Structure 1
């Protein structure tokens, strides 16, 4: 895991170049691109952790497909979601004590926004963990699966803003946390940056979100959303515009094994006006990000305002080395 706090754009290191842009101008550059791609796959997946990551991704994708219909049916039966709220007297003493020790964190609702042609069932495990950590309101929102083909990210962001306003009114709070997976992270980011959502969103966590686009979008139907997801699109260019005074904290989690964000580094969030922590994973697939133990730990720490154990240990080691 590589944790980087970013307040301004940075150049990618050689280790972060991942899969290069597929625009060779000669046979030699085509061969170089192919070789780099093969080398990348070998480095990322041709090791024990990489093979394990591939196996977990395939297994979780199969499980998720089996519960996908329930994510749609559940919305009709329980619009607030299975973890819309809970009573603290049902929690074990240890979990109840964590809730009491972080009243502000537990009182802030958490809104989960799924990715393209998906639904809130992708967050079943993460929602359960957040509930156990003492978060009183954890709610998943479903937007239309047809958004990818007939929708618009800007319109989806406006709808998200309306949902946040309703959530704040019902919970009696001024701020929420938002966790967005894939396209959901980009919808939430547009709401925060361009529609005044930083007034409502305390922390925005993005998991495998194509902040700088993905070449995979070129393979999708040529409708509005796929065009918006292409690198250099008008929407992504709009998101690079100044956002002075943005009050939202960002955690952007990306993986070198993400099979849907090409190149993988495009899931990093870099903007001079945003408070961003980028976290790079090595062997976690796109779908498995919502269940990976390390990612779940990062998310819970981000929402509580604490730093992950590894980050604190690294800082202590650095202080010890400087003192020596």
Structure 2
């Protein structure tokens, strides 16, 4: 009887420790210091492509409840349609987390729908940092192999979509001049999918060139991670 009572007391103390004000405050503090992160996949991509990066960010102090990866309905479709899906997804994330803004990490073509969302939809008011990984901001010759899809046609260098997206300001900050959007474009000279790889350079961003990493490797290679982390912490030294 005494032993059972002791066991019960120990269990209650353990549970109270888990939900103690200090523990709760630490969790709230971690969330308050960070924005939720929305991951955006690329052409024919999948939300699961970010599973590795999610686990890494958790090890860096992000709550798992602050990490969200969108799955587009049409992975080869128009960036404009995808941007509207992204808008709805971000709104859902903000409602769920009660945060004011999100950070976005986008791979490949996902960087284009992200920039469209920021430039023409609500992203200018709801995004803090934008990080793109191997995004064809000025098009890629690889897109000629998929011209039966709208997404590939939009990625053709000099397409009407890209000319419009890159007109006036390639990295718009929106209406909140007191809190500008930080842009980071990470790309690899070994990326043979983005041709030329220098297409990833955008004016107004912190453009980071790395070597020896493939297009898909940008999602998982450890050499990319410090630059992602810097971008999420407003580290873009050359931003607007």
Question: When the two structures are superposed, what TM-score results if normalisation uses the length of structure 1?
Answer: 0.59
Structure 1: runs of 5 or more not aligned? 1-88, 91-95, 309-324
- How much does 1:103 deviate? 5.4
Whether the 8 Å contact between 1:201 and 1:248 is mirrored in structure 2 is yes
State how 1:268-279 maps to structure 2 within 5 Å.
268-270=201-203, 274=204, 276-279=205-208
1:189 aligns with 2:122: no
Taking a change above 3 Å as real, the CA distance of residues 267 and 97 of structure 1, as seen in their structure-2 partners, is same
Partner secondary structure for residue 204 of structure 1: strand
The structure, 1 or 2, with the larger RCO (C-alpha pairs under 8 Å, 6+ apart) is 1
Whether the 8 Å contact between 2:31 and 2:62 is mirrored in structure 1 is no
1:263 to 176, 196, 199: 196
Taking a change above 3 Å as real, the CA distance of residues 99 and 185 of structure 1, as seen in their structure-2 partners, is farther
Partner secondary structure for residue 44 of structure 2: coil
Q: In 2, Cα distance between the equivalents of 1:266 and 1:294?
A: 21
Partner of 1:110: 37
Whether the 8 Å contact between 1:212 and 1:266 is mirrored in structure 2 is yes
- How much does 1:172 deviate? 0.6
- How much does 1:264 deviate? 0.9
- How much does 1:99 deviate? 8.8
Q: In 1, Cα distance between the equivalents of 2:153 and 2:164?
A: 14
1:142 aligns with 2:71: yes
Partner of 2:225: 296
Structure 2: runs of 5 or more not aligned? 1-17, 20-24, 175-179
**How many residue pairs get matched?**
207
Deviations 1:219-250 (A, max 9, x none): 11333211100000111101122246433211
Whether the 8 Å contact between 1:105 and 1:303 is mirrored in structure 2 is no
Partner of 2:50: 123
Q: In 2, Cα distance between the equivalents of 1:105 and 1:189?
A: 24
1:213 aligns with 2:139: yes
Cα-Cα RMSD: 2.5
Whether the 8 Å contact between 2:45 and 2:75 is mirrored in structure 1 is no
Question: When the two structures are superposed, what TM-score results if normalisation uses the length of structure 2?
Answer: 0.79
Partner of 2:22: none
1:240 to 166, 189, 205: 166
Taking a change above 3 Å as real, the CA distance of residues 191 and 254 of structure 1, as seen in their structure-2 partners, is same
Taking a change above 3 Å as real, the CA distance of residues 304 and 97 of structure 1, as seen in their structure-2 partners, is farther
Q: In 1, Cα distance between the equivalents of 2:224 and 2:33?
A: 18
Deviations 1:21-46 (A, max 9, x none): xxxxxxxxxxxxxxxxxxxxxxxxxx
Partner secondary structure for residue 132 of structure 2: strand
